[in-house]
Chains A and B, each alone.
Chain A
Amino acid sequence: MKVRIEEQDGNAVAILEGNLDTAAAVETEKAMRPLNDVEGKDIIIDCTDMAYISSAGLRIFLGILQNAQAKGGHVYIKGINDNVRAVFTITGFSNIFEFK
C-alpha cells in the first residue's frame, strides 16, 4: 500500500495505491494524517489505483471526512473502481462522500 499526498490546483490530493486492508490500515492512517491539518482547501482522495478496501480503510476515510467537515471543508473521492464503490454503497458511505 502506497500513499502520496500532493498539492494539485490548490487542493490537497492523497493518491492511494494497492490494497487498503486491515493490515495496511495502520500505516495508511499514519500516512494520511497530514490531511487532518489541511485548512481552507478541498481534499481529494484519488483511488484510481486502489484495488481493495475493507472497513478499516473506511474508518480512515470517515475520520478525514468528519475532520474536514468540522472545519467546513470538502472531501472528494476520485477515480474509484466499481468493486470499491460497491463497498461504499452497502455501507452508506456513498451518501456522505462526494465523488469526482
Chain B
Amino acid sequence: MTIENGSLTIMNKIFTYIRRKLSVRVSLWVVFFAAIIFNVALGFLFYQSREAVRQEAISRATTILEKTSLRIEGILNRVEVASNMTKWLVQRHPDKADSMFVYSRGMLLNNPDFYNCSIAFEPYYFKDKGRYFSAYTKHTGDSLRTTQGGSDYYQYFFADWYLMSQLLGKPCWTEPYMDLDVATNTSEMVTSYCQTIKNKQGQVIGVINTSLSITWLSQTISAVKPYPNSYSIMIGRGGTYFVHPDTTKITRQTIFTQTLEHPDTALTALGHAMQRGEEGIKQMNINGEDSYVFYKPLGQTGCSMAIVCPESDIFGGFDRLRNSVRAIVLVGLLLMLYLFIRIITRELRPLRRLAHEAETIASGQFDAVLPDFQRVDEIGQLSQSFGNMQQSLVKYIEELKDTTAQKASIESDLRIASGIQMGMLPEKFPTKDDRDDVQLYASLTPAKEVGGDLFDFYFRDEKLFFCIGDVSGKGVPASLFMAVTRSTFRTVSAHESMPDRIVTLMNKTIADMNTNHMFVTLFVGVLDLPTGRLHYCNAGHDAPLLVGAGVGELPCDSNIPVGFMPTWKYSLQEAQIFTGTTIFLFTDGLTEAMNADYAQFQMERVNDVAFQALSQQQQEPRQLITRMTEAVHQFVGDAEQSDDLTMMAIQYIRQQSDVRMRKSLVLPCDLQEVPRLNAFVEEVCQEVGFDETVAMQAKVAVEEAVVNVMKYAYPPGQQRDVTIEAASNDVRLKFTIIDCGQPFDPTVQPEVDTTLTAKERKIGGLGIHIIRQNMDSINYERIDNLNVLTLRKKIVKIDN
C-alpha cells in the first residue's frame, strides 16, 4: 500500500513536472511520434529481414541435408557394391578357404572407411577348417589385421547379422549392434550390410558382413553443421537413435522414448514422418528450444536423418543486428529528446524571463524594465506587446489612483453622513423595565451608506409621538430629504398633538420647499398612553400591522404622500389599542426585499412571521423585529440589499388599575370660586395620602389649569361651568378638567424661559409651566366638542 502510494506520488510529481515544462512536453511529443515512425519502419524491415533469413536458413539446411544424405547414400551404396563384388568372387571360388582372407582384406583395402568385413561360412563348410570359418578383416591403427573369426566363444551363425539376410531372403542392413573384437577385446557400435552367399545349387554357404562404424558415421553426419549449435540425428526403422549428440541415447532410446514421459505431439509426428521415409521441415520445440528440424530418409537403409537447428542460431545474427539497431534507435531518440529539450528551453528562455518580469509587474512593481530580445519572431512580438501593455498599465494605474483617492474621499464623507443620519434616529428604546405603559423597538438598515427611510418617536405629556417614513429614491438625495422630514416632524409635533394636523403642516412646509419633486410616504401616530387610544394619519405609507388578538392591518385612508400638494388636507383616524397589542410599522424595503431570483418577500410572509411570533408569544417589539429580520435574511440569502429596510414595533402594555376613588366638582367660571377648588383638591390629596408638599404641588397645578379655563374658555359675559373630576387607582391620582369652550390645547403653548432676568421676564405663561413641573403628565384631548385636560400624579406609597 505504502509502496503503491509512493510510486503514485512519484508519478504525480513527474506528471506535474511535465505539465509545468513546455519544453519537456513538446520534446516528448516529437520523440513520441518519431518513436512511432521508427517502430513502424523498423518493424516492417525486421519482419522482412527475418523472413529472408528464414528462407535462407531453410535453403541452406536443405542443401546441407541433401549433400549429407547423398554422401551417406554414397557410402552405403559403396558398401553394397563392394559386398556384391565380393559375393561374386566368393561364388566363383567357393572352395578356396584361404582366398576368403584375400577377399576380406581386399574389401577393406579398397574401402578404408569400412569398419570391418567378415566372410562367414556355414559350420563345417570347409572340412579341414572345422566347425567355424570366418575371414575377418579389421583396421588396427594404420594397418589391416586379417584373422579367422568364430570360435566356441563366438558362434557367429547365431548372430543377427548372419541370420537376418537368410530370413529376409535378401541383403539387408542390420540395426546397430555392438561388435566385439575378440583379438583386442574392444567393442564398437556398428551397422552391417549382410548378404547371403549361395552355391550353384542355391544352398546357403555363408554370409558376407560389411560393417560401418556408427561412431564414424555419426561423425561424418555430425561434421556437417550449418550453424554452431545445430546437430544431426539419425534414426533407424524402429525410431532408434543411430546418431545423436547425446551418445547415451544411441541404440538405447528411440525418438519416441521421450514422448512416453512427456507427451509431445510434434515430436511424435516428426518420428512417424521420419519412419515413413518422408522428407520435410518442421518448426518445433525440442528440449525447451524453438528449433527448425529438416529431415530426409537415407536411401534404402530405412534410416532417416534430421538436422536440428535452434532458432536462436538461425536468427542469432539477425537478432544481434536487430538489438543493435534498437539500441541505436533508443539512444538516438533519447539524444533527440535531450537535444530538443535543450533547444526548446534555450528558445523559450526569453519567454521565461518575460514571465518572471510579468510576475514582478503583477506584484505591483510597474516600473520593472522589460528585456529587449532583439527578436522578430512571435516571442519578440510578445515582448513588444508586453512592453506596450506595461506602459498602458502604468498610465491607467495613475488614473486609477486619482479616481480611487476621489472615491475614498466621497466614501469618507458618506461614512460621516451615515453617522450623522444614524445619530438623528433615537437610539434608546424603552422596554417594560423602563416604562409600564409602552415598549418599543426599531431598526433601520440602509441599502447604501445613507438611506431615505426614517423613523422617530418621543414622549410628551403621556403621549407617544411616532412616525415612520420612506423617501422616494435612495442615497444622498433621499437622506437629505429624510433629514428634512424628520426635523420637520419634531418641529411640528412639538406644538400639535393630532397626527392629521402634524402631517398637514409637515406637508405644507415640505411641499413649499420641494423643488426636486421628491416625496415621502409617512405614517404619524400619537398613542395616548393612559387610555391606549391611537390617533394616526397615513400619508401613502404601508398600513401597519396590529399583532395582538390576531394579526391584522390597521385600516388606513388613502392619503397622498407628503411633498406633492401643499394644500392637501390629511384625514385623521382613530383606533383603540388594547393592552398587549403590538403595532408593527415597516417600509416597503421589507415587503419588496428581493432574493437572487428577484422574488419579493411580500406581505404574506410578513403576516406569516407576525402570526408565528404571536402564536409563540413572541410579539414583544425586539423579538418581533428580530424574527422579521431573520426571516428576511433567510429569504434574501446572499443577494444584495435592494432597498432601505426599516421596522418599528410598539407594544402597549399598560395594565388598567381599579379605580379607588372618584370625586367631582362643578364650578362656575368665576375666579372667586378658586378657594373652593383648592379645598376640593386638598381634600382629595388628603384622601389619597399625599403629604403637604405633594398636595401643595397638586393644588397649584390644578388651580393654574382651572383658572386658565375660567379666564379664556368662554367669551366674556358667558356664564358657563368647568368640571373637575378627581379619580385615583393604586398608582396615580388623576384630575380631569372639562369645559365646553372653544378648542384650546394648553400643552402646545410655548415654554417660558425660566432663566431670564426679572426685567426680561414677561408676566404670564407661567401656569402651564407650573402644571408640567408639578404633575407627572398633562394630556389634552378634544372629545365631543369638549376640551378635556388630564393631569396625573403618581401616588408614592410610604411604607410604615
Is B674 part of the contact surface with A, judged by Cβ < 8 Å? yes
Is B761 part of the contact surface with A, judged by Cβ < 8 Å? yes
Asked if B769 and A52 sit within 8 Å, CB to CB, the answer is no
Interface string of B657-700 (1 = CB under 8 A from A): 00000000000000111110010000000000000110011011
Interface size range on B against A: 20 to 34
Using Cβ atoms and an 8 Å threshold, which residues of chain B touch A8? none
In the assembled complex, the Cα of A86 lies from the Cα of B672 at a distance in Å of: 25
Could you say which of A23, A70, A91, A95 has the most chain B C-beta atoms within 10 Å of its C-beta?
Answer: A23
Asked if A55 and B693 sit within 8 Å, CB to CB, the answer is no
Q: In angstroms, how far is the closest chain B Cβ from the Cβ of A36?
A: 14
Asked if B763 and A22 sit within 8 Å, CB to CB, the answer is no
Asked if B704 and A86 sit within 8 Å, CB to CB, the answer is no
Using Cβ atoms and an 8 Å threshold, which residues of chain A touch B699? 52
In the assembled complex, the Cα of A35 lies from the Cα of B757 at a distance in Å of: 21
Asked if A22 and B696 sit within 8 Å, CB to CB, the answer is no
Asked if A23 and B672 sit within 8 Å, CB to CB, the answer is yes
Given contacts A58-B766, A87-B770, contact A82 B693 (CB under 8 A): yes
Asked if A83 and B693 sit within 8 Å, CB to CB, the answer is yes
In the assembled complex, the Cα of A53 lies from the Cα of B766 at a distance in Å of: 13
In the assembled complex, the Cα of A63 lies from the Cα of B757 at a distance in Å of: 13
Q: In angstroms, how far is the closest chain A Cβ from the Cβ of B685?
A: 12
In the assembled complex, the Cα of A61 lies from the Cα of B522 at a distance in Å of: 48
Is B759 part of the contact surface with A, judged by Cβ < 8 Å? yes
Asked if B700 and A54 sit within 8 Å, CB to CB, the answer is yes
Using Cβ atoms and an 8 Å threshold, which residues of chain B touch A23? 671-675
A45-83 at interface with B (beta carbon < 8 Å): 52-56, 58-59, 62-63, 65-66, 69-70, 82-83
Using Cβ atoms and an 8 Å threshold, which residues of chain B touch A70? 759
In the assembled complex, the Cα of A92 lies from the Cα of B548 at a distance in Å of: 46
In the assembled complex, the Cα of A65 lies from the Cα of B757 at a distance in Å of: 11
In the assembled complex, the Cα of A66 lies from the Cα of B696 at a distance in Å of: 27
Within 8 Å by CB of B766, from A65, A69, A83, A91, lies A91
Task: Tally A residues with Cβ within 8 Å of B.
Answer: 30
Using Cβ atoms and an 8 Å threshold, which residues of chain B touch A24? 674-675
Using Cβ atoms and an 8 Å threshold, which residues of chain A touch B756? 92
In the assembled complex, the Cα of A91 lies from the Cα of B769 at a distance in Å of: 7
Is B758 part of the contact surface with A, judged by Cβ < 8 Å? yes
Given contacts A54-B707, A90-B774, contact A62 B758 (CB under 8 A): yes
Q: CB-nearest residue of chain B relative to A58?
A: B766
Given contacts A62-B763, A86-B697, contact A92 B755 (CB under 8 A): yes
In the assembled complex, the Cα of A63 lies from the Cα of B761 at a distance in Å of: 10
In the assembled complex, the Cα of A5 lies from the Cα of B40 at a distance in Å of: 144
Chain B at the A interface: SS class: helix
Asked if B692 and A83 sit within 8 Å, CB to CB, the answer is yes
Within 8 Å by CB of A96, from B697, B752, B761, lies B761
Using Cβ atoms and an 8 Å threshold, which residues of chain A touch B700? 52-55, 87
Asked if A86 and B693 sit within 8 Å, CB to CB, the answer is yes
Within 8 Å by CB of A52, from B696, B752, B754, B774, lies B696
Asked if A55 and B774 sit within 8 Å, CB to CB, the answer is no
Is B288 part of the contact surface with A, judged by Cβ < 8 Å? no
Is B764 part of the contact surface with A, judged by Cβ < 8 Å? yes
Could you say which of B703, B704, B759 has the most chain A C-beta atoms within 10 Å of its C-beta?
Answer: B703
In the assembled complex, the Cα of A62 lies from the Cα of B752 at a distance in Å of: 14
Asked if A90 and B758 sit within 8 Å, CB to CB, the answer is no
Asked if B675 and A21 sit within 8 Å, CB to CB, the answer is yes
Using Cβ atoms and an 8 Å threshold, which residues of chain B touch A91? 752, 754, 766, 769-770, 773
In the assembled complex, the Cα of A57 lies from the Cα of B149 at a distance in Å of: 191
Using Cβ atoms and an 8 Å threshold, which residues of chain B touch A59? 763-764, 766
Is B525 part of the contact surface with A, judged by Cβ < 8 Å? no
Q: In angstroms, how far is the closest chain A Cβ from the Cβ of B671?
A: 5
Q: In angstroms, how far is the closest chain B Cβ from the Cβ of A98?
A: 11
Q: In angstroms, how far is the closest chain A Cβ from the Cβ of B673?
A: 7
In the assembled complex, the Cα of A29 lies from the Cα of B697 at a distance in Å of: 23
Using Cβ atoms and an 8 Å threshold, which residues of chain A touch B758? 62, 65-66, 69, 96-97
Asked if A21 and B703 sit within 8 Å, CB to CB, the answer is yes
Using Cβ atoms and an 8 Å threshold, which residues of chain B touch A87? 696, 700, 770
Is B469 part of the contact surface with A, judged by Cβ < 8 Å? no
Using Cβ atoms and an 8 Å threshold, which residues of chain B touch A19? 675, 678
In the assembled complex, the Cα of A95 lies from the Cα of B700 at a distance in Å of: 20
In the assembled complex, the Cα of A55 lies from the Cα of B678 at a distance in Å of: 14
Using Cβ atoms and an 8 Å threshold, which residues of chain B touch A69? 758-759
Asked if A95 and B692 sit within 8 Å, CB to CB, the answer is no
Asked if B770 and A55 sit within 8 Å, CB to CB, the answer is yes
In the assembled complex, the Cα of A59 lies from the Cα of B704 at a distance in Å of: 13
Q: CB-nearest residue of chain B relative to A60?
A: B763
Using Cβ atoms and an 8 Å threshold, which residues of chain A touch B754? 90-92, 95
In the assembled complex, the Cα of A19 lies from the Cα of B707 at a distance in Å of: 15
Given contacts A55-B704, A62-B761, A96-B758, contact A83 B696 (CB under 8 A): yes
Given contacts A62-B758, A91-B770, contact A22 B703 (CB under 8 A): yes
Given contacts A65-B758, A83-B692, A96-B761, contact A22 B671 (CB under 8 A): yes
Would you mind naming 26 contact pairs between A and B with Cβ atoms under 8 Å apart?
A: A19-B678, A22-B671, A23-B671, A23-B673, A23-B674, A23-B675, A24-B674, A26-B671, A52-B700, A53-B700, A54-B704, A54-B707, A54-B770, A55-B700, A55-B767, A56-B707, A62-B761, A62-B763, A66-B759, A69-B759, A70-B759, A91-B770, A92-B753, A92-B756, A92-B761, A96-B761
- 4 nearest CB pairs, A to B: A92-B754, A23-B674, A96-B758, A90-B773
